[in-house]
Structure 1
Amino acid sequence: MLSYYLLKAASKICCLLPRGACETIGRALGAFAWIFVPKRRKKLAKDQIMMCLGVGEQEAERLAKASSVRFGPMFMEVLRFPVIRKHIADYVRIEGLDKLERGLALGKGCIIAAAHSGNWELMGGAFAQAGIPLVGVAMKQKSTGADRFINEYRTLIGMHITYKTGVREMFAMLQKGWAIGLIMDQDTNRRSGIVLDFFGKPTNCVPGAASMARFQGVPIFPAFMHRDEHGFHTLIVQDPVFVEKTKDKREDIRRTTQVLTKCIEDHVRRYPEEWFWLHDRWKSMREEY
């Protein structure tokens, strides 16, 4: 549990420092960490960027580095959650919050479909601080201390946290009118995924959002974060996506998941420096073929 206490100590220090100082430290940490990213992982990110965006090698290298370095400021913002939650309007502006509020007013809950773009941790906090009853679906960290810390801070900023294995709890909270936040842009195993088009390539995608929304008859709201050069975030809530319920359940889920996947692709094309390019997005497809 040493990592937990180290993170808590770092958080206390960061909360005492000015915002600008933390931004500078975060960028320095991100740049330093980039040095230790394995060459094969850097090449993977560069190759994926070239394949998806059609840019040259030099631009791909710049984007790969930028998408990694940004984790420094993002980490510092998480450490500063005790401060940020008290002044959330100084950090995040939400566009389209009324769409989400109207969806929740129906009393059946909703799904928020997000991606590893921008500060997704702060996204959940921004929704919670705006009065949205949000369930953040988390992946358990390998480090027990880090897992305890991040879930404590997610709760601190207003989210209710459940692990990906807590499907029953998700449905129970959905029935109570909560919004379920699902990040759906990473590779999964071929048994659990569905192959769709992403950047013009057959890609294994997560169908959970469409599957859950179809079963409960609730809307899905694609939502993404963007961080400008001054460190201010814009959280954009897009129009709701509804799952058509026909006799062909598999096709209903496939069609809706493709719509959501296209929303993610469009956002990544707009803000390529903010997506998690170091993730091996096509791993399961290579393993199969």
Structure 2
Amino acid sequence: MLYYVLKAISWLVCCLPRGGCEVLGQLLGNIAWLVVPQKRKNMAIKQIKMCLGIDDREAVCIAKESTVRFGPMLFEVLRFPLIKKNPQRYVHIEGLEKLQQGMAAGKGAVIAAAHSGNWELMGGAFAMAGIPLVGVAMKQKDSAADRFINEYRTMIGMHITYKTGVREMFAMLKKGWAIGLIMDQDTNRHDGIVLDFFGQPTNTTPGAASMARFQGVPIFTSFMHRDEKGFHTLLVEGPFYVEKTQDKREDIKRATQLINKAIEEHVRKYPEEWFWLHDRWKSIREEYTDIDFTQLD
């Protein structure tokens, strides 16, 4: 039932003018900010202060903007049937030629991205520009919601696989596809490696560097920025190659640290567009007792 409700809402949203959707998206985002639990808000505000070194007032503003933007982002996803018809009205890719040249050999590439800007549109923008892209997604708990979002992702050209589909990722990479990986979320300590992020020891997923090293393919970083008029710029940098020495772990650590640094630089430039409500240091608070992570509780 939920699937058909979402389809109906999408149809209605596509009937509305773009400006009207922006207004409704902002309204929805402001409502979302009101219902976010205060404990989660406080955690986001404290993370912002810790990372950016700013005062309470500015941190609250960034935390709110970071949450409110989910409203317009949702409306953009619902408007994918329209966006796919004329994507240049919504997004421009800076550095697309770098990615095209890096993939010209037919060996594929790894795109390291972050939860900044509209990351759902990011993968579609690449696909609509002719880049064969595999979006790596987390399966939604609700099967109807999962069916809907994956249908809309594939509608704008992406091939979707779940995080558990590692074999499929490597198979698609060998066929010359680009694998899109989100690299800025906390992971379990067994799978992660601790590196620097905003001057703090941070548990980081090594997936992009590990995959690129194994297959000998380039890594590109990619981040979205949305301006005040609702137009997106997709920024691509690279290629970066993972060194292949006898010390595999160090090779992966060095490359992953470069990705962390690139994400940090982008977040510092556009802090209101990052997903601050995510508890980035959750998995290592107890382990690193010499760092005052208790302030984030």
Aligned to 1:240: 239
Aligned to 2:292: none
Aligned to 2:28: 29
Separation in 2 of the partners of 1:133 and 1:140? 21
Separation in 1 of the partners of 2:143 and 2:63? 29
Letter in 2 for 1:24: V
SS for the counterpart of 1:101 is: helix
SS for the counterpart of 1:189 is: coil
Q: How does 1:168-187 map to 2 (within 5 A)?
A: 168-187=167-186
Aligned to 2:208: 209
**Large movers: runs of 4+ above 4 Å:** none
Separation in 1 of the partners of 2:115 and 2:137? 12
Task: Note the C-alpha offset of 1:283.
Answer: 0.0
Aligned to 2:151: 152
Aligned to 2:193: 194
Q: How does 1:71-90 map to 2 (within 5 A)?
A: 71-90=70-89
Asked whether 1:225 is paired with 2:201, we answer no
Aligned to 2:12: 13
SS for the counterpart of 2:57 is: helix
Aligned to 1:276: 275
Stretches of structure 2 lacking an aligned partner (at least 5 in a row): 289-297
Stretches of structure 1 lacking an aligned partner (at least 5 in a row): none
Task: Note the C-alpha offset of 1:14.
Answer: 0.5
SS for the counterpart of 1:20 is: helix
Separation in 2 of the partners of 1:287 and 1:36? 29
Separation in 1 of the partners of 2:234 and 2:161? 22
Separation in 2 of the partners of 1:287 and 1:28? 39
Task: Note the C-alpha offset of 1:45.
Answer: 0.3
SS for the counterpart of 2:224 is: strand
SS for the counterpart of 2:110 is: strand
Task: Note the C-alpha offset of 1:6.
Answer: 1.4
Separation in 2 of the partners of 1:145 and 1:288? 38
Letter in 2 for 1:82: P
Task: Note the C-alpha offset of 1:287.
Answer: 3.8
- Cα-to-partner distance string for 1:180-226 (whole Å, 9 max, x where unaligned): 00001000000000000000000000100000000000000000000
Separation in 2 of the partners of 1:253 and 1:164? 19
Letter in 1 for 2:89: D
Q: TM-score, normalised by structure 2?
A: 0.96
- Cα-to-partner distance string for 1:217-275 (whole Å, 9 max, x where unaligned): 00000000000000000000012111000000000000000000100000000000000
Task: Note the C-alpha offset of 1:142.
Answer: 1.1
Aligned to 1:134: 133
Separation in 2 of the partners of 1:280 and 1:3? 29
Separation in 2 of the partners of 1:108 and 1:87? 29
Letter in 2 for 1:140: K
Separation in 1 of the partners of 2:147 and 2:45? 33
SS for the counterpart of 1:98 is: helix
Aligned to 2:2: 3
Separation in 1 of the partners of 2:5 and 2:287? 41
How many residues are treated as equivalent by the alignment?
A: 288
Separation in 2 of the partners of 1:7 and 1:58? 37
- Cα-to-partner distance string for 1:97-139 (whole Å, 9 max, x where unaligned): 0000001101100000000000000000100000000000000
Task: Note the C-alpha offset of 1:58.
Answer: 0.4
Task: Note the C-alpha offset of 1:84.
Answer: 0.3
SS for the counterpart of 2:191 is: coil
Task: Note the C-alpha offset of 1:288.
Answer: 3.0
Letter in 2 for 1:147: D
Separation in 1 of the partners of 2:180 and 2:35? 32
Letter in 2 for 1:205: T
